Amino acid sequence: MKTIPILMPQMGQSVAEGTIIKWRKQVGEEVAADEVLMEVESDKITVEVESPVAGRLNSILKEEGARAKVGEVVAMLETEADIHVDEPAEPPKETRSNRPHAGGDGGQVMVSVMGEDDWNGGGPRLPELTRDWLSPFVLRLAMLNNISLKELQEIRGSGQRGRVTKNDILEYLARRPLGATSIAQATGKATPTPRDVERLGQVVPMTSIRRTIADHMVQSIHTSAHVTMVHMVDMTHIVELRNRIKASFERRYGVKMSYTAVMIYVTARVLKDFPTANASVFGDNLVLRNEVNIGCAVALPDESLVVPVVKNADKHSFPEIAQELERLIKLAREKQLKRGDVEGGTFSISNFGAFGSIIGTPIIYQPQVAILGMGAIVRMPSVVNDHVVMGDRLYLSFSFDHRVIDGAQGGRFLNAIQTRTEALTEKDLGCEKL
């Protein structure tokens, strides 16, 4: 009886590994030829792996939930089938007749042809682009980011036998100097000097905070699979409510009744019903956060940005949220925020409507998985019950990490915010006695 290995199958040209999601057979059980042994999942598909021969499952080397690279042994199978396993042949002994150019004069030049397995002992291998070494996805990613052929050849791959993977490209892009390619093209030089760059225009060094923001935004784009959905919210009722009570609200609570505070109040309560939107990615795991801490982007006079956090927003009343938000904004603009004021956020809101923008696509604040953008409230005509009416409208932009949140769930989340916002009353806001 022979023992043969069961390997992780190749499930697509760009797939380098798979996850075993279920073993259909257990150790010691008999299996027929072509009977399903296990179910394997990649980032693209789920496949059933069949036994190549009849036999008995001898051992399982990778349990359910474990990952394995393509070609890696995941189990051993005992079989009585007559299976021929090729052994490496002995290289032929060199004789005068089988030497290359045997009929020529002078010394012989021997040329060795190395198999793919021979490269492992010889250090990292550069990708052979002419041999389909790069997957279509990696090539497309390189094309979209203007990565030259020379740059691709210099990237050290982390895949099998040095193959360049998607993660290798993303890590390279994160380290790549911003705008290096475009500046080189504009100057006509591969490595432009500072004087070459100065000829293009005035060179203004980035401030340290601007560099930090830039690095964070680029990292976020390369980390999360950004998707943005937009809903139009009828704010007519909220605008009328605010106009009716804003003076009394400010006299009683000492702060203005802002639309941003309204959205924080509503969003904090909706997040309790959508825990995956109030989460963080940690390695291969998703951390559903216990607290609902909503960060609010604040633009500062020096054109920088800071995101103070309203802690436990789901447990505070609307007046308390309005007071805390105004306190944080005041401290931010006076540059008096403490470290605790900007840490611990689980979700963010960006009100770019304050500058007149109607729709935007906000970038997720890592390690969060979603952000809500508020456009300007605009009075416009719309059709209601076949009649054209004037009303106040707000476009909400919801950017989320598609690795964590599917489109259907994102749509339900945004619809819940829209529904609750349009139905708000003075009683909901705790302002019925104003």
Q: Running DSSP on this structure, what letter comes out for residue 313?
A: G
Neighbours of 200 (CB within 10 A): 11
Strands 73-79 and 46-50, by their bridges, are unpaired
- Whether 387 is a known active-site residue: answer no
Cα 377 to Cα 19, 238, 246, 380, 396, distances in angstroms: 47, 11, 17, 10, 10
Q: Which helix (H) or strand (E) holds 253?
A: helix 236-253
Q: Which of 118, 132, 273, 406 is catalytic?
A: 406
CA dihedral 191, 194, 200, 205 (to 10 degrees): 120
CA torsion sign for 145, 146, 152, 155 is negative
DSSP label of 396: E
Q: What's the token pair of residue 132?
A: 């389909």
The one catalytic residue among 316, 401, 402, 428: 402
3-state secondary structure of 261: helix
Q: Is 406 an annotated catalytic residue?
A: yes
What distance in Å separates the CA atoms of residue 81 and residue 104, rounded to the nearest whole number? 50
DSSP 187-252: HT-SS--HHHHHTTS---PPPHHHHHHHHHHHHHHHHS-EEEEEEEEE-HHHHHHHHHHHHHHHHH
Instruction: Give CA–CA dist 360/375, Å, rounded.
Output: 7
Catalytic residue annotation: 402, 406
